[in-house]
């Protein structure tokens, strides 16, 4: 793999650097950061997006696992402009940065889903999220019930966020060039949800079970938690599969199971 701007891309970190300047401008315009916004960039890499963001904000926080790239960023930017966290974003405590965070990132494809699940833990601290992802992942995030792309990621993110795919990005915008197309998405926390799970741990468990064996019916995947009578009481066909239920139906089901357990 050839060096890029003097850096040898590391496969273990899933490094595909955004190099298309027009795409960078489009991303920053979509984010529309204000000078005093609390922006945090995940995986700044060679700094293409970092530099563009610093033209619009007074201060930027970045999380970079690659120590060589982190050292490079430290040399290029004064600490009063850039707070650098040389850590794994999958283990980073985002609450340590305060509230109103605007999360930005060109996420490595190999950790995109785990990282999105990680960010779910910090919804209360997040103002919005703007991320570059593999197009197929974004398709899953915005999928409708009953479609092949609809799954656990869709439901868990949809419970917390309004999700919008803003635009697609061709593979040629990156170096090294990935074998897949990317998409840029916006996630905004839902402040007044139309549905609410009283026990969110139980909600997450039910969702995981429902999609753990997609070909099985809910009567089978939820055996021991929800019998046919409870499912029908919730307006759910016991022969249905998890992929047919909306986020609201999952929340309603979790509340019914929670009520049953409490009795």
Same domain for 204 and 185, yes or no, is no
Same domain for 245 and 115, yes or no, is no
Please return the burial class of 169, using the count of CB atoms within 10 Å of its CB with bins 0-12, 13-18 and 19+.
buried
Listed residues 140, 162, 189: the one ending a domain: 189
Same domain for 59 and 36, yes or no, is yes
pLDDT at 15: 60
Domain encompassing residue 173: 11-189
pLDDT at 125: 98
Listed residues 160, 189, 218: the one ending a domain: 189
Same domain for 118 and 237, yes or no, is no
pLDDT at 17: 80
Listed residues 166, 189, 212: the one ending a domain: 189
Is there a domain that residue 195 lies in? no
pLDDT at 44: 94
pLDDT at 148: 94
pLDDT at 194: 79
Q: pLDDT (tens digit, 0 to 9) for every residue of the chain, 263 residues total?
A: 456 555 555 565 556 788 899 999 999 999 999 999 999 999 998 999 999 999 999 999 999 999 999 999 999 999 999 999 999 999 999 999 999 999 999 988 888 999 999 999 999 999 999 999 999 999 999 999 999 999 999 999 999 999 999 999 999 999 778 888 999 999 999 987 778 999 999 999 999 999 999 889 999 999 989 999 999 999 999 999 999 999 999 999 999 999 876 55
Same domain for 50 and 133, yes or no, is yes
pLDDT at 113: 93
């Amino acid at each position: 793999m050839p060096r890029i701007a003097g850096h040898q891309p590391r496969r273990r970190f899933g490094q595909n650097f955004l190099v298309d300047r027009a795409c960078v401008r489009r991303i920053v315009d979509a984010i529309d950061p204000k000078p005093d916004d609390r922006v945090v960039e995940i995986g700044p890499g060679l700094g293409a997006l970092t530099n563009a963001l610093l033209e619009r904000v007074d201060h930027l926080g970045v999380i970079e696992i690659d120590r060589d790239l982190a050292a490079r960023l430290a040399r290029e930017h004064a600490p009063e402009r850039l707070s650098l966290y040389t850590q794994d974003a999958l283990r980073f405590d985002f609450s340590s940065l305060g509230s109103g965070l605007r999360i930005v990132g060109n996420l490595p494809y190999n950790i995109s889903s785990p990282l999105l699940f990680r960010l779910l833990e910090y919804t209360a601290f997040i103002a919005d999220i703007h991320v570059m992802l593999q197009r197929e992942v974004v398709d899953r995030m915005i999928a409708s019930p009953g479609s092949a792309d609809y799954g656990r990621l869709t439901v868990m993110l949809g419970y917390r966020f309004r999700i919008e795919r803003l635009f697609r990005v061709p593979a040629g915008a990156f170096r090294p060039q990935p074998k897949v197309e990317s998409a840029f998405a916006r996630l905004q926390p839902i402040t007044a949800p139309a549905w609410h799970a009283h026990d969110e741990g139980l909600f997450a468990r039910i969702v995981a079970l429902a999609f753990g064996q997609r070909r099985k019916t809910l009567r089978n995947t939820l055996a021991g938690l929800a019998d046919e009578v409870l499912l029908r009481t919730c307006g759910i066909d016991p022969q249905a599969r998890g992929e047919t239920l909306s986020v609201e139906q999952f929340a309603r089901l979790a509340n019914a199971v929670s009520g049953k357990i409490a009795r």
